[in-house]
Amino acid sequence: MRVLVTGASGFLGRAVAARISTAGHEVRTFQRRPSGVPGVEDVHGSITTVADTPYVGLAYAVSGMDAVVHLAAKVSLTGDPAEFEAVNVGGTGTVVQAARRAGVSRFVYVSSPSVAHAGRSIMGADALPASPEHARGDYARTKARAELLALAADAPEFSVVAVRPHLVWGPGDTQLIDRIVDRARRGRLPLLGHGAALIDTTYVDNAASAIHAALDAAPAVHGQSYVVTNGEPRPVAELLAGICGAAGVAAPTWRVPASAARMAGSVIEAVWRARPKGDGQVAEPPMTRFLAEQLSTAHWFDQRRTRASLLWTPSVSLDEGFRRLAAHYRSRP
């Protein structure tokens, strides 16, 4: 197949593009920066821009493609709500429309389990319905709307599948792993509550192989959403200890009541939104209500339907992932 992967300069997007290319498919990527993936054709542009010139932009990127894997998104704990809307909802609509005009027959939308997380524990559930009304935070709300938009375009000649990898991590991850390690190193990483909430995560190679499997299975499973995880829920304290141990830093031991963290997160978010722009502060706040909820509530998922429908199983266990992460940190200067 000829496959377009959007957002391939990101951590997961790069892994997906490499996986599909290695499997023998012809891969083109579309994003604002070079993907760095060997053997693919990079096309530079933005999913929020519709004006195209030859060999530049989305219209060229989708031309001649059989399938699209759409990962490009604004991923952040905070930010301008209008930007989340423009990129995650408007951009997804633009990619869907361009793909249909170009005659693409398969479309995999990479979503997030947060589209169905309303702040309460999720224990052993399958893929719950995406709910913009109940999702927490601008990222989750706009991803929920975008998933619904993509699935609404599903048709016999345009097979759409939504895949929700949960907490993807691995060597080279700057969104989750490096932030955890940096905060632990500075003594700013608490455990919320008792740190006993069971949480599913997904090693990056497993997430990439599941998305590839969804691409292959799309004609048979179109119109559906699937949560993807390693299927190895662990207490959040154990997960943080494993990550910190791999990086050679002390695991967190001090605790903050979960309710206090949620209230503090709400206050910090408000302060972050009101602060002057360009004042030298870091881009992400130290805590948000969404982050506090994610670290203090259980969220693990039944993987039986995902594995049976996509004909997929993870190949890298959590313990093997921690070993690979440790090797990565040992190799760093």
55 belongs to the catalytic site = no
The pair of structure tokens assigned to 36 is 């760095």
Instruction: Give CA–CA dist 39/76, Å, rounded.
Output: 30
Q: Sign (positive/negative) of CA torsion 6, 51, 140, 135?
A: negative
Strands 67-70 and 41-44: unpaired
Please pick, among 55, 60, 109, 139, the residue that the annotation labels catalytic: 139
The 3 state secondary structure assigned to the chain is CEEEEECCCCHHHHHHHHHHHHCCCEEEEEECCCCCCCCCEEEECCCCCCCCECCECHHHHHCCCCEEEECCCCCCCCCCHHHHHHHHHHHHHHHHHHHHHCCCCEEEEECCHHHHCCCCCEEEECCCCCCCCCCCHHHHHHHHHHHHHHHHCCECCEEEEEEEECCEECCCCCCCHHHHHHHHHCCCCCEECCCCCEECCEEHHHHHHHHHHHHHHHHHHCCCEEEECCCCCEEHHHHHHHHHHHHCCCCCCCEECHHHHHHHHHHHHHHHHHCCCCCCCCCCCCCCHHHHHHHHCCEEECCHHHHHHHCCCCCCCHHHHHHHHHHHHHHCC
Residues forming the active site: 139
